Amino acid sequence: MSDNLPAKVSESLFSKEEEEEEEEEVAMCDFLPPEILSNILLRLPTKSIVKFTCVCKTWRSLIRNPDFISAHLKLSNHNQPLLLFRFCSDSFLKQRYLDRDTDEKEVYKLYCDNQDFNEHVRFDFPFHTLGRTTIFSVVGTCNGLVCVEDDGLLDRIILWNPCVRMFMELPKPSITYQGYHEDDGYGYDAATGLGFDSKTNDYKVVRVVTVVDVRRRRDWGVFPPKVEVYSLATGEWSMVTTALPGAVHPCEPMPFVNGALHWVALRKINHFKYRNFIMVLDLEDMVIREIVLPILSDEKDNGDEAFIFPFISAYGNSLALIHGDSGLSLNVWLMKRYADASSWTKIVIFPHIGTLEQAIKDIKAVGHGFIPRAKGFRKSGEVVVELGEQPFVSQDLETQECKDLPISAYNYTFLGSYVKSLVLLDKPNRAATY
């Protein structure tokens, strides 16, 4: 009917209709008491909650409120446990810079940590733009955030929440690759981790860096390590001034347990020997302490652990230590009581007889240089092991039973516990959307 009306009249009518619809929408938003509306929204799927930020200003303000985000996180922690896997093939990682026409891609998947271990959802990785770009690696997960960093050349660190499709690139840290270039006779070994300070409701990224004189590469004790911390609340890096013993050991992602980040460090025992131990940084009071590790060296190493690279992982509310010997041996220790070094208990040497016995014999027969790699633990306490070109397996540490997991085999895999959250949604002016 409006087709025959003058343009100004028609436009005026439609504008009035739109205003009435907006007023009706706002009235619907205000109809429910805030506490009831909040309880309803909290129980919706994360994807739906994000969409509902577009309904009206009232809903958007409610959903982006830090208290709502914290309440949603508490509920999410009671849901079905999830595991985040990052897969990447050898040929992909061998290219420092990637041609995006290649068929090789990183894959991020969430699996339900249940009996069926079924795939829950997969995420696109948004940081490989058109053209040539660097490889990223995952350094940790915490409350729905995934922290990734580049290969060290550009010092790029990104906080990413794939559930809300938002990310934030951190400012460059103080200690950079460009500042300690090997052409100048220096380099550095670094480890990065992500954790949460519950006291201040703040997420923190920690970098531990040991500057190395490449002419004395064998001597890790020349320079004391430095620690710098990024606060999501302030958006800035700061240095931890406490003097640290030992040098950081280039390692896997730092496990975040009991409010603290953990990494493996080296201490010089004498001119010829080093010992591994665990450094602990409490994110609330920023106090640094140590945890002694079991002796990992043997006679053939002359007691030196400089070239032994143990893997530490969160195991419930404590820690686990995994160390591979030569051949197919994989030793696992559990810390029965957190922070009590006397409670380290050697549980299992993988692999044991089971469903994979014949497959392992076949690998040994053809000499593929097979080395099992523990990637982390399931909620049940089973250890997840990567077997090269063979399927991933999950091994029960009590019964020692192995079972195949329905996961395609890759190398350079990251595994971490994951919970869906709305973190970063309250920072629309700082975090980017994709």
In this structure, is residue 328 part of a structural domain? no
Q: In the numeric block, which tokens belong to residue 139? A: 């350094």
Asked if pLDDT for residue 10 goes beyond 50, the answer is no
**Could you tell me if residue 11 is inside a domain?**
yes
Handedness of CA 392, 157, 218, 224 (dihedral sign): negative
Residue that is written with structure tokens 């390590």 in the block: 225
H or E stretch covering 61: helix 57-63
- Residue 399: CB atoms within 10 Å: 10
Q: Where would I find the beta strands (DSSP E) of 124-259? A: 136-142, 145-150, 157-161, 166-169, 186-197, 202-213, 226-231, 236-240, 247-248, 256-257
231-245, 278-292, 376-390: which is most confident: 278-292
In a domain? residue 257: no
Largest Cα span, the chain: 96
3-state DSSP assignment of residue 349: strand
CA–CA separation, 434 vs 104, rounded Å? 22
Q: pLDDT tens across 134-146, in order?
A: 678 899 999 999 9
Six-digit token string for 326: 């030569």
**Cα dihedral sign for 188, 169, 233, 178?**
positive
Q: How sure is the predictor about 343, in pLDDT bands with cuts at 50, 70 and 90?
A: very high
- The number of folded domains in the chain is 1
Domain that holds residue 71: 2-76
Helix H or strand E encompassing 69: helix 66-76
Predicted local confidence at residue 5, as pLDDT: 40
What does the buried/exposed string (b/e) look like for 21-44 if buried means 16 or more CB atoms within 10 Å of the residue's CB?
Answer: eeeeeeeebeeeeeeebbeebbee
Cα–Cα distances (Å) from 433 to 161, 163, 260, in that order, read 10, 11, 30
SS3 (DSSP) at 264:
strand
Q: How do residues 122-131 score in pLDDT, each as one tens digit?
A: 998 888 653 4
Q: Which residue has the tokens 């990785």?
A: 125
Within-domain flag for 352: no
Residue 54 lies in a domain: yes
Residue appearing with tokens 């100004």: 8
Extended beta strands in 163-201, E state:
166-169, 186-197
Q: Residue 408 — pLDDT band, cuts 50, 70, 90?
A: low
Compute the average pLDDT of residues 287-304.
83
The DSSP line for 223-239 is S--EEEEEETTTTEEEE
Of 225, 218, 160, 162, the closest CA to residue 191 belongs to: 225
What is the reported pTM? 0.84
Question: Is the Cα dihedral 132, 137, 140, 144 positive or negative?
Answer: positive
Instruction: Identify whether 10 is part of a domain.
Output: yes
Strand (E) or helix (H) holding 432: strand 432-433
Q: Could you tell me if residue 221 is inside a domain?
A: no
Task: With a cut of 60, say whether residue 221 has pLDDT above it.
Answer: no
Q: Would you say residue 281 lies in a domain? A: no
> What are the pLDDT digits (tens) for 55-82?
888 899 999 999 999 999 999 999 999 9
